[in-house]
């Protein structure tokens, strides 16, 4: 545990940010999981609805710094491809 006041504050700030970032990551993963579950079940309408909800959440993660821009785009692209294949 640090003794300097600014270091103590930094520890507290880091702990808060870590908790926020963890919850955001978990939220994004949950939305992605819903899309993947709908795809594995073969439910086209549920997959489309889940994808529609997941895409802005993934992009919000990108804007908040949880995911890299290319990672977010890649995830959205791959999910969209899988849902489109399901729709055929």
- What pLDDT is stored for residue 82 in this prediction? 95
Phi then psi for residue 64, to 5 deg, are: -85, -5
pLDDT surpasses 80 at 3: yes
- What pLDDT is stored for residue 1 in this prediction? 83
Query: What is the SS3 assignment for 56?
Result: helix
The ranges assigned to domains in the chain are 5-87
pTM value is 0.87
Q: How is domain 5-87 classified at the CATH fold level?
A: Methane Monooxygenase Hydroxylase; Chain G, domain 1 (1.20.58)
The Cα 42–Cα 88 span in angstroms is 11
The Cα 68–Cα 20 span in angstroms is 17
- Give helix 5-41 / helix 69-87 axis angle, nearest 10°: 10
- pLDDT tens, position by position, 4-48: 999 999 999 999 999 999 999 999 999 999 999 999 999 999 999
pLDDT surpasses 80 at 88: no
């Amino acid at each position: 545990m640090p003794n300097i006041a600014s270091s103590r504050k930094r520890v507290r700030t880091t702990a808060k940010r870590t908790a926020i970032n963890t919850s955001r990551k978990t939220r994004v993963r949950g939305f992605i999981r819903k899309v993947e579950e709908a795809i594995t079940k073969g439910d086209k309408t549920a997959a489309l609805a889940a994808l529609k909800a997941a895409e802005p959440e993934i992009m919000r993660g990108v804007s908040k710094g949880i995911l890299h821009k290319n990672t977010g785009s890649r995830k959205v692209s791959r999910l969209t491809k899988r849902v489109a294949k399901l729709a055929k």
